[in-house]
Amino acid sequence: MEWKTKITKVEPNHLVTKGYRQEDLIGNIPFSHVVYLLLKDELPSKEHGLMMDAILTSCVDHGTTPPTAMAARIVASGGVPLPTAVAAGILSIGDAHGGAIEKGAKILQDAIFKMKKENLKIEKIAEIIVKESIKENKRILGFGHRIHTMDPRTKRLFILSDKLKISNEHVALSIAIEKELEKQTGKKLPINVDGAIAAITSDMGFDWRLGKAFFLIGRVAGLTAHVYEEQTDFKPMREIFTANIKYNGPNEKNLP
């Protein structure tokens, strides 16, 4: 039985990751570029490397409000090791939390593929996508945010991707969808940070199936800080959150 892997060759005193000796990578290549190497099988250009740094940093933390941070802190408060609590935070990255990067990137990548095949214009594709989403009453993922109307991370990421000449058809399609959304619904639903990362990583050539990966790798830094803060500044089993909980199950009764 043989098992093939393209990631790391392990021999005594010799480690080769995606073609490069680890002793060459360590201290010569920024960590963010090594992340890029691991996910894309090549070292980034200067522009792509800078963009990867920006994307990971944009995912780092959003305070205690998202499920990632809440879950990590609550689990930490049970009195468990740091990695166990950080992992609990990661588990909450799902279709509704960070998942818009993956699904958003899929929509964009499928649409651009279709656009090229059928020789359509970006505006036309955007119009179709928005029309369908309204018809099926389904949100297009990557637009709108529960707290921000003009997310500072989104703005900054797009300025960078423009400046670094990374912005291309996927970013253009995102902007066209934003316009169409306003046109067809009358409401402003600005691209959110997930949507920006979906568009930019698509223009960088990443597979949409890695959508949650960028968020995860960046967010782990923030989660580690949350767990460390919980473990060093607070007592175990403290009352973290309050909620007015009401039992509305079956009425109290005797056993049959």
Residue with smaller CB distance to its own copies, 81 or 110: 81
Selected binder of its own copies within 99, 106, 182, 184 (CB under 8 A): 99
List helix spans (H) across 15-168. Answer: 22-25, 31-40, 46-58, 67-76, 82-91, 99-117, 122-135, 152-163
Q: Which of residues 103-142 bind its own copies (CB under 8 A)?
A: none
Closest contact distance (angstroms) between CB of 219 and its own copies is 10
Selected binder of its own copies within 119, 138, 186, 250 (CB under 8 A): 250
Closest contact distance (angstroms) between CB of 125 and its own copies is 27
Closest contact distance (angstroms) between CB of 120 and its own copies is 29
Closest contact distance (angstroms) between CB of 119 and its own copies is 30
Name residue, tokens 């009425």: 251
Closest contact distance (angstroms) between CB of 105 and its own copies is 13
DSSP string for 13-44: TEEEETTEEHHHHTTTS-HHHHHHHHHHSSPP
205 phi and psi, to 5 degrees? 95, 15
Q: Which of residues 69-88 bind its own copies (CB under 8 A)?
A: 70-71, 74-75, 77-88
CA angle (245 as vertex; 240, 247 as ends), nearest 5: 145
* Residue 30 within binding range of its own copies, rule CB under 8 A: yes
Look up residue 116 and give its two tokens.
């090229």
The DSSP 8-state label assigned to residue 8 in this structure reads E
Residue with smaller CB distance to its own copies, 99 or 172: 99
Closest contact distance (angstroms) between CB of 100 and its own copies is 10
Closest contact distance (angstroms) between CB of 56 and its own copies is 4
Q: How far is CA 88 from CA 81, 215, 218, in A?
A: 11, 15, 15
What three-state secondary structure class fits 76?
A: helix
Residue 214's CB is within 10 A of a number of other CB atoms, namely: 26
Kind of pairing between the strands at 14-17 and 20-21? antiparallel
Q: Which of residues 184-243 bind its own copies (CB under 8 A)?
A: 207, 209-210, 212-213, 216-218, 220-222, 224-226, 228-229, 231-233, 236-237, 239-243
Residue with smaller CB distance to its own copies, 95 or 116: 95
**Site mask, its own copies, residues 34-63, x = CB under 8 A?**
xx--xx-x-x------xxxxx-xxx-xxxx
Q: Which of residues 136-195 bind its own copies (CB under 8 A)?
A: 146-153, 155-157, 160
With contact defined as beta carbons under 8 Å apart, do 126 and 173 qualify? yes
